[in-house]
A and B are shown apart, each in its own frame.
Chain A
Amino acid sequence: MKENSLDHLRRWAPYALTPLIVLAALPAIGVGPWLTLTVAGLTMGIMLFLVASGLTLIFGLMDVLNFAHAAFVTVGAYVTVSVLRPLAGWTMQTSLTLNLIALLVALVAAAAASGALGFVFERVIIRQVYGAPLRQILITIGALTVVEQLVIVVWGPEALVLPKPASLRGSVFIGSSPIETYRLAALAVGLVVALAMHLFLKRTRLGLVVRAGVENREMVQALGYHIRRVFIGVFMAGTALAGMGGMMWGQYQETVNSQIGDSMTILVFIILIIGGLGSVGGCFVGAILVGLTSNYVGFLAPKMALGSNILLMALILLWQPRGLFPMADH
């Protein structure tokens, strides 16, 4: 009986971790800033999730860890700048509808550009290195360098400004806690994308094939599905998600430079390790956890902020060496 409840605890502990941290932060920080920081952390988490989920899906299905994933974030952010510049008439007005339409156009453009680049990337780079982990790491690192340099060739070496739309600047107050309007919008968009992804994976036939492919690639192939086509589709979707993440992150920072993707890479890897490589659910929990921890620690001990996520990763690995939600055979 006793062992049964212990097993129960062990199974639910990974799920309980995030709420526990949120609750523990409340008395340490105080209600006012806590609300602000929690929303900030959730927003950062959802943006990171968009980037990380693509990477983890690609890894889960194709067994390829794409070190050049950050390049697609960068491309997404730069495409946003190019798209929003001619739409300045829409973003400078205080009409919320026009602002949102402009952002939606930018989001779709960023996803489309990154996805299209992803298609080329899979054909030219990834295809040659399936099943060769060492060469995968090397070639994607090399490709990352090339794409980053090409971005500089196209958009120039200087950082570009990307002002937020007029009606998404400033903050709203909940009680006495200021919450940036843009964060709420980004959180909403991120949750919609995450929900759409969830529904696609769980409710559609193609989603079923993808999930089955993650579990057992050969069996899916044996059942007559063209796994290479599924690979390309998932790779494009993953890179498109990275592009969306880049768009939202660049718009949040209001400035875009060629390092924007690199700055996320380490956080994204930490999320993958925490969540368990290949698991989309684990990736979601990991992303939210990393977002919240960065914000809480940044408030409580600013000097520790940069290193806090790496410490979090180390602690979680000591507790669960294969991540919070490990996949069966990865």
Chain B
Amino acid sequence: MALAQQDTRRPPGLLSWLVSDDPPGRTVFNAVMLAILLALALAPFLFPGTKALGVSSRICIFVILVASYDLMLGYTGIVSFAHTMFFGIGAYGVAIMLSKGWVGWGAVVLGATAGAAVAAVIAALIGMLSLRLRAIFFSMITLAIASFAQIVAEQWRDLTGGEDGLTFSVPAMLRPSFKLFAEPVLGVVVNGPVITYYITFLVALILFLVMLRVVNSPLGLVLRAIRENEFRVEAMGYQVVAYRTLACVLSAVMAALAGALMALVLRYNGPDVTLSFSLMIDILLMVVIGGMGSLYGAVIGAIVVVLAQYYLQNVLAMVSTAIVGMPVMSALFHPDRWLLWLGIIFVLIVTFLPQGIVGRLRNRR
């Protein structure tokens, strides 16, 4: 609301238009977000190496996945456990197209579109059937549906490759053997994976700005009103179920597109990569740690958790070699226990900092 007041004082510029008049907020936080944007934009040159490129791609994809989940959880107040299902549908859309003999960009676009369309239809059906119910009922039903989707993906071998998943070849330009320039640029060979990264980055950036526009539109206001008091919104003449369903559909489409990017980056898709319940836990961790009800929180959450997944193990390994003599402590700091520490942080944040890191930064006066 404070942002609307700023508006009147300053004529809207291009940058302000891009972020839907909803910049991150305080000066420090603006600087942090700008630094993140620059770091991601220059990631292949700043952090060379295959692992770093994989981490950056993952961050871009999860920003979209988490922001779209936040549309439901943080903005509309719906807890769904079927978000990985939509992510998986998008990934399978591309994977099935490319592994069934179709080639080239047409197949990628067609696969992503088909995935997004299927996700939208399923989300609309689930929403219309079960969003009338209490929040808890909806959560349980989506949990069951998500596990059903996982079973289908594992059993329908002809289409999905079963538990082994699908390996496929991406368009020639995205393959590791492809080089855009003969010479390295700034010491980095601009090959297929780098091009894939930039596609991922740009699509993620565009989708993020689109979502920012949605939450700052009148639609976003209605969704937040539903979160605060659904009966009042209903009494004002809005069809709450319709709006909630719309939020679910939007969120599902975004998740499916993120899934399509995931398939392109990995050149593989299987149930463990895009459909597992532990992935759902990761998404919840990211939303809550970053801060619910703020899309910028998705950026922070995705970065913190993805970096923790890849690098917290190293930190824990250092700690556990330092305390190798103590029996219980060394089990607690075992490199594989990173999820324990993230879980503890998660519980502490839900308890003491319900707005998350970003909510705290933005709302402090």
**B351, A128: Cβ atoms under 8 Å?**
yes
**A153, B143: Cβ atoms under 8 Å?**
no
In terms of DSSP, what is the predominant structure of the interface of chain A?
helix
**A153, B331: Cβ atoms under 8 Å?**
yes
Q: Which residue of B lies closest to A310 (CB)?
A: B148
Rounded to whole angstroms, the CA-CA distance of A262 and B73 in the bound complex is 23
**B347, A273: Cβ atoms under 8 Å?**
no
**Contacts A153-B340, A273-B140; is A262 near B277 (CB within 8 Å)?**
yes
Rounded to whole angstroms, the CA-CA distance of A218 and B336 in the bound complex is 46
Q: Which residue of B lies closest to A273 (CB)?
A: B140
Residues of A close to B73: CB separation below 8 A = 134
Q: A143-B347, A146-B347, A262-B277 are in contact. List 5 more A-B contacts (CB 8 A).
A: A125-B347, A270-B144, A306-B151, A306-B155, A310-B145
Q: Which residue of A lies closest to B334 (CB)?
A: A153
Q: Is A17 an interface residue (CB 8 A)?
A: no
Q: Is A161 an interface residue (CB 8 A)?
A: no
**A65, B136: Cβ atoms under 8 Å?**
yes
Q: Tell me which of B152, B336, B339, B350 contacts A135 (CB under 8 A).
A: B350
**B337, A153: Cβ atoms under 8 Å?**
yes
**Contacts A153-B337, A269-B140; is A307 near B148 (CB within 8 Å)?**
yes
A15 CB → nearest B CB, Å: 23
When A and B form their complex, which 8 residue pairs have the shortest distance between CB atoms, in order from nearest? Answer: A149-B340, A145-B343, A142-B346, A146-B343, A142-B347, A310-B148, A269-B140, A139-B350
Q: Which residue of A lies closest to B132 (CB)?
A: A321
Residues of A close to B77: CB separation below 8 A = 134
Q: How many residues of A contact B (CB 8 A)?
A: 34
Q: Is A277 an interface residue (CB 8 A)?
A: yes
**Contacts A134-B135, A139-B351, A142-B347; is A310 near B337 (CB within 8 Å)?**
no
- Give A297-330 interface residues, CB cut-off 8 Å to B: 303, 306-307, 310, 313, 330
Q: Is B147 an interface residue (CB 8 A)?
A: yes
Q: Is A150 an interface residue (CB 8 A)?
A: yes
Q: Which residue of A lies closest to B145 (CB)?
A: A310
Rounded to whole angstroms, the CA-CA distance of A303 and B343 in the bound complex is 35
Annotate B138-156 by CB proximity to A: 1 below 8 A, 0 otherwise. Answer: 0111011101100110010
Rounded to whole angstroms, the CA-CA distance of A149 and B278 in the bound complex is 13
Residues of B close to A266: CB separation below 8 A = 143-144, 147
A321 CB → nearest B CB, Å: 8
**B340, A150: Cβ atoms under 8 Å?**
yes
B332 CB → nearest A CB, Å: 6
- Give B15-50 interface residues, CB cut-off 8 Å to A: none
A160 CB → nearest B CB, Å: 16
Q: Is A133 an interface residue (CB 8 A)?
A: yes
In terms of DSSP, what is the predominant structure of the interface of chain B?
helix
**B136, A145: Cβ atoms under 8 Å?**
no
**B350, A142: Cβ atoms under 8 Å?**
yes
A165 CB → nearest B CB, Å: 31
Q: Is A89 an interface residue (CB 8 A)?
A: no
Q: Is B262 an interface residue (CB 8 A)?
A: no
Q: Tell me which of B155, B281, B332, B336 contacts A145 (CB under 8 A).
A: B281
Rounded to whole angstroms, the CA-CA distance of A272 and B325 in the bound complex is 47
Residues of A close to B171: CB separation below 8 A = none
Residues of B close to A65: CB separation below 8 A = 136, 139-140
Rounded to whole angstroms, the CA-CA distance of A295 and B77 in the bound complex is 38
Rounded to whole angstroms, the CA-CA distance of A266 and B280 in the bound complex is 14
Q: Is B54 an interface residue (CB 8 A)?
A: no
A97 CB → nearest B CB, Å: 38
Residues of B close to A277: CB separation below 8 A = 136-137
Enumerate 22 A-B pairs (CB-CB under 8 Å) in ascending A order: A65-B139, A65-B140, A134-B73, A137-B136, A139-B347, A139-B351, A143-B347, A145-B346, A146-B340, A146-B343, A149-B343, A153-B328, A153-B332, A153-B337, A266-B144, A266-B147, A269-B140, A270-B144, A272-B140, A273-B140, A277-B137, A303-B155
Q: Is A141 an interface residue (CB 8 A)?
A: yes
Rounded to whole angstroms, the CA-CA distance of A35 and B332 in the bound complex is 48
Rounded to whole angstroms, the CA-CA distance of A134 and B148 in the bound complex is 24
**A133, B135: Cβ atoms under 8 Å?**
yes
Rounded to whole angstroms, the CA-CA distance of A169 and B57 in the bound complex is 53
B41 CB → nearest A CB, Å: 32
Residues of B close to A32: CB separation below 8 A = none
Q: Is B322 an interface residue (CB 8 A)?
A: no
Q: Which residue of B lies closest to A330 (CB)?
A: B134
Residues of A close to B351: CB separation below 8 A = 128, 139
Q: Which of B73, B288, B347 has the most CB of A within 10 A?
A: B347
B320 CB → nearest A CB, Å: 12
**B144, A313: Cβ atoms under 8 Å?**
yes
Rounded to whole angstroms, the CA-CA distance of A313 and B337 in the bound complex is 36
Rounded to whole angstroms, the CA-CA distance of A143 and B340 in the bound complex is 10
Q: Is A116 an interface residue (CB 8 A)?
A: no
- Give B301-355 interface residues, CB cut-off 8 Å to A: 328, 331-332, 334, 336-337, 339-340, 342-344, 346-347, 350-351, 354
A310 CB → nearest B CB, Å: 4
A267 CB → nearest B CB, Å: 9
**A138, B284: Cβ atoms under 8 Å?**
yes
Residues of A close to B148: CB separation below 8 A = 307, 310
A273 CB → nearest B CB, Å: 6
B340 CB → nearest A CB, Å: 4
**A310, B147: Cβ atoms under 8 Å?**
yes
Q: Is B79 an interface residue (CB 8 A)?
A: yes
Residues of B close to A153: CB separation below 8 A = 328, 331-332, 334, 337, 340
Residues of B close to A265: CB separation below 8 A = 143
Annotate A240-266 by CB proximity to B: 1 below 8 A, 0 otherwise. Answer: 000000000000000000000010011
Q: Is A152 an interface residue (CB 8 A)?
A: yes
Rounded to whole angstroms, the CA-CA distance of A88 and B284 in the bound complex is 42
Q: Which of A128, A137, A150, A265 has the most CB of B within 10 A?
A: A137
A308 CB → nearest B CB, Å: 10
Residues of B close to A152: CB separation below 8 A = 336-337
Annotate A130-166 by CB proximity to B: 1 below 8 A, 0 otherwise. Answer: 0001110111011101100110111001000000000
**A273, B284: Cβ atoms under 8 Å?**
no
